[in-house]
A and B are shown apart, each in its own frame.
Chain A
Amino acid sequence: MRSKHRGTHAVLALSALLMVVPFGWQLLTSVKTLSSATRVPPTVLPEWQWSNYAKVFEQLPFGQQFLNTVLMAAGRTVGQVLFCSMAAYAFARLRFPGRNLLFGVFLAVLMVPPPLFVIPQYEIMADLGWLNTLPALIVPGLFSAFGVFLLRQFFLAMPKELDEAARLDGASPWRIYWSVMLPLARPGLLALAVLAVLWSWNDLFWPLVVNTDPERMTLSAGLAALQGQFQTDYPVLMAGSVLASLPVMVVFVVMQRRVIEGIALSGNKG
């Protein structure tokens, strides 16, 4: 049994190493001096140059940007899970004139690449006076055609008897949605939530465009700005990228199984 998997382990371990080495190098570089990072041949052990991290904090209002990013991710996620599940339930379980047409329109939105929305969305934000505010980061992200599509698949897969029974007891559609369907759709909601958090946290284009005041930026835009300042001072850039990506990595390590199940679910339902 053991020997049978030796080759497999060798291939997998080597590939996994390729996944991890860049992160290890990132961590090591983040505490090196520039002269030692650019030594040929390289030295592995750093000088523990913590001032690289200090430089990041000096340049970026890191705490504020962290908070902005958390609020953006939380706002978008809560909104998407709520609104998408409502619409998905309606599309999957209720009958009303124009249902298929409307669903088709939703699907059409899913097909359009985001850059097509950006200029007018930006103009809308400018008209509302929302540039450089938290709502600009959150509001357009509250609505997701993808989320509706994903959750609809979950509601469709549930046995018909469930809502029939509830309806016979006199429950309203809202009651059925809220007390019967939502609890059963938890894996789906979780999958959507995982994706929404991940996408919001890592989003660059939109935050880069709408919020230009460093105090209002998200971490990804802030990190890009760090490169604008430090150009190719790699130790500082590595320190910044460690700080910006660490929170999601920690969440991932803690919730690893759920995240991966969520992703797997979305891929095979979608």
Chain B
Amino acid sequence: MTVTESGTTRANPAVVPAPGPRKRRSWRSGTGEALWGYLLIAPTGLGLAVFYLWPVLQTAYFSFTEWGPFGGHEWIGLENYETLAGDEDVLRALGNTVLYTLVGLLGIPVAVVLAALLNRRGLRGVAVYRALFFLPVVTMPVAVAMVWRWMYNGDYGLLNQALSAVGVEGPHWIADPATALYALALVGIWSSIGYNLVIFLAGMQAIPRELYEAAEIDGAGAVAQFRTVTLPMLSPSIFFVSVVSVIGSLQLFDLVYVIGGSGQTARGNPAYPRIQTVVALFYEKAFVTNDRGYAAAIVMALLLLIVALTAVQFRLQKKWVHYA
């Protein structure tokens, strides 16, 4: 770290006449550089402090309070956390969220395989395929959820209509407690495959051709090359995608809010307890019943879960991620 050399702060070094060419510039060595540094990070820094850091502390504080139905709150100590530990709804929502996250990870191998196929030498139409796979990524999640709610309709949905054409009677995907969560996870996979695929494809294109050529000389076929060259070289991208996917899945809300049925329509869906995620529960407590103190405690639990699962991933990465 450079300390003041000249001892003067120059707020506007640009107007300082340039001395000899080989001398170190004033702001480089002076407090001027530090000042510029603070100035440049100030907007984002202050914004993050006001709208993100301070709120985190406040949420932590709120988790020890109880709120009235129309605002106003009082300190109640650990009561929310005590209730939380024995609250069936919260525990079930946590379980649903974790299960949803795990099922969601199954989308990664699919995206890797599709990317590998797209990466084959001499394949035509790559841009078209890539664009089609990417379409769900740019579609508004609320719209995606609505479309799938319709696709999944047990009586008139396209999926079951197609199944019945081959003699299979499909379930009520999102109203049946046995299938609802998996049906939801499938939509999650469907809508994120394009994103993952694009990242994997870019990662694959960065793998030096020589590695494949060397493997070919050793007599490795396409599958063996995929296993010995592509996968290890791609492992950092796979790791990145899985971390992003886990953090995203743990915060699932849009799909549940729309497919599960917002507000009134969620009432009477027998599968709703099986698909309610932590963030959906948080939304209900914080903004439907205005039980904000308890809602704050619920997201604190979510934070713990995210930290724990991410830590596990970083711990495991040493075993399988290869950094070139």
Contact = CB atoms under 8 A, between A and B. Distances in A.
Question: Would A and B touch once assembled, by the CB under 8 A criterion?
Answer: yes
Interface of A: 1, 4-5, 8-9, 11-12, 15-16, 18-23, 25-26, 29, 37-42, 83-84, 86-87, 89-91, 94-97, 99, 102, 105-106, 109, 111-121, 123-124, 139-140, 142-145, 148, 167-175, 177, 198, 201-202, 204-205, 209, 219-220, 223-224, 227-228, 231-232, 234, 237-238, 240-242, 244-245, 248-249, 252-253, 256-257, 259-260, 263-265, 267-268, 270
A252 B127 CA distance: 13
A219 B139 CA distance: 12
Contacts of B155: 38, 40
A238 B161 contact: no
Contact of B48 (A139, A143, A241): A143
Contacts, number: 313
A175 B199 CA distance: 34
Contacts of A111: 306-307, 310
A252 B267 CA distance: 37
B143 A241 contact: yes
Given A121-B51, A173-B27, A19 B156 contact: no
B251 A172 contact: no
A153 to B, nearest CB: 13
A228 B139 contact: no
Given A20-B135, A174-B36, A205-B283, A115 B299 contact: yes
Interface residues of B, number: 112
Nearest to B261: A227
Interface string B188-222: 00100111001101110010000000000000000
B140 A248 contact: yes
- Give the 10 A-B residue pairs with the shortest CB-CB distance, closest first: A143-B47, A267-B199, A120-B55, A96-B37, A264-B202, A96-B34, A241-B143, A90-B40, A172-B14, A120-B58
B52 A26 contact: no
Contact of A124 (B51, B150, B190, B310): B51
A263 B41 CA distance: 25
Nearest to B131: A256
Nearest to A145: B48
Nearest to A140: B51
B133 interface: yes
A8 B201 CA distance: 15
A244 B14 contact: no
B146 A238 contact: yes
A171 B286 CA distance: 51
A259 B250 CA distance: 26
Contacts of B27: 167, 172-173
Nearest to A84: B44
A257 B254 CA distance: 27
Contact of B131 (A8, A253, A265): A253
Contacts of B129: 12, 16
Q: Which label, helix, strand, loop or mixed, suits the secondary structure of the B interface?
A: helix
Contacts of A23: 135, 139, 147
Interface stretch (B113-121, B177-185, B224-232): B113-121
Given A96-B37, A223-B142, A116 B147 contact: no
A263 B198 contact: yes
B55 A268 contact: no
B194 A19 contact: yes
Contact of A12 (B28, B52, B114, B240): B114
A31 to B, nearest CB: 14
Interface in B113-165: 114, 117-118, 120, 122-125, 127, 129-144, 146-151, 153, 155-156, 158, 161, 164-165
B286 A19 contact: no
B140 A119 contact: no
Contact of A244 (B53, B55, B135, B142): B142
Given A172-B12, A237-B146, A231 B265 contact: yes
Interface in B53-73: 53-56, 58-59, 62
A264 B120 contact: no
Contacts of A37: 156
Contacts of B12: 172
B55 A5 contact: no
Interface in B79-136: 114, 117-118, 120, 122-125, 127, 129-136
Contact of A109 (B48, B206, B299, B303): B48
29 contacts: A5-B123, A86-B41, A87-B40, A87-B45, A97-B1, A105-B53, A113-B251, A115-B302, A116-B59, A120-B59, A124-B50, A143-B51, A143-B52, A145-B44, A170-B18, A172-B14, A172-B27, A174-B14, A223-B146, A227-B146, A241-B140, A241-B143, A248-B138, A256-B131, A259-B134, A260-B198, A263-B199, A267-B203, A267-B240
